[in-house]
Amino acid sequence: MPQSDVLLSATGISKHFGGLAALSEVSIAIRRGEIFGLIGPNGAGKTTLFNVLTGIYAADAGELTFDGKRIDGYKPHRVAQHGIARTFQNIRLFTSMTALENVMVGRHVRTRTGVLGAVLRTRGAIAEELAIVRRAYELLDYCGLTARANDLARDLPYGDQRRLEIARALATEPKLLALDEPAAGMNATETEALKALLERIRSDGVTLLLIEHDMKLVMGLSHSVTVLDYGEKIAEGEPAEVQRNAKVIEAYLGGGLA
């Protein structure tokens, strides 16, 4: 199968909430294997775009193509099946479950034991359960959370919770990992560790979409950056050129200078 260079393309995405245009005709194209940064001031529509891409909102207009298939109108679980995993801006872990169990839930979409298999403990079900546990431990280790495996998610320190969300998302075997402000609330050391983790994930073949306010992090990591403001795309390109873009500077520093 010939693989296009573009993994995800969104064309002319619009989303309105009542009279508010949260997104108007936004188009992005994420290439395979890159880290794609999405930035913009608060309320620019970044998270809305995320929610459209992951099926949580249905777009009012526009097309979404992922890995050669149209995915617009898909429910979130089908989007996940097709290979987009995400984390949330305001961490959404399964708080009453352990770190290990959280990651095990991420394996749900790639496993198949049903009620009968679970109740009868069939050989296949037992083998699959073991494989789930093994993979979950590997991913905890990958994200540096092995020591926390049996702690409840709600008891983890903030930075660990953010990394656990990443481990859980990776468990779904995504082609695209979408991260909504993964460094929010992290201190400098934690951010540094996160940066190393994200680079490692990318080098292991997962494409990354990154919303981030930490400019140093996003500019340091991303291969291309798109800037949203008031629901419109105002700039895109390599980090260095975006940083020089007059519109971007205006959006971040306020219109008073213009």
Residues near another protein (CB under 8 A): 54, 56, 75-77, 80-81, 85-86, 88, 92-97, 101, 104-115, 117-119, 121, 125, 128-129, 132, 152, 154-157, 168-169, 171-172
Smallest gap from Cβ 129 to another protein, in A, equals 7
CB of 247 to another protein, least distance (A): 32
Name the minimum Å distance from CB 144 to another protein: 15
Q: Is 202 exposed, middle or buried (0-12, 13-18, 19+ CB in 10 A)?
A: middle
DSSP letter for each residue of 223-235: SEEEEEETTEEEE
Give, in degrees to the nearest 5, the angle at Cα 141 between 129 and 214.
125
| Residue among 118 and 246 whose Cβ is closer to another protein | 118
For residues 105 and 219, which CB has a smaller minimum distance to another protein in the complex? 105
Residue placing its CB nearer to another protein in the complex, 107 or 162: 107
Q: Which is nearer to another protein, 121 or 247 (CB)?
A: 121
Task: In angstroms, give the least distance from the CB of 252 to another protein.
Answer: 30
Q: Any idea of the CA torsion for 246, 249, 253, 256, to the nearest 10 degrees?
A: 0
Q: How many residues does the chain have?
A: 258
β-strand pairing of 224-229 with 232-237: antiparallel
Query: Which of 128, 212 has the CB closer to another protein?
Result: 128
Buried b (16+ CB within 10 A) or exposed e, 224-251: bbbbbbbbebbbbeebeebbebeebeeb
**Cβ atoms of residues 165 and 93 within 8 Å:** yes
Q: Output the smallest distance, CB 65 to another protein, in A.
A: 20
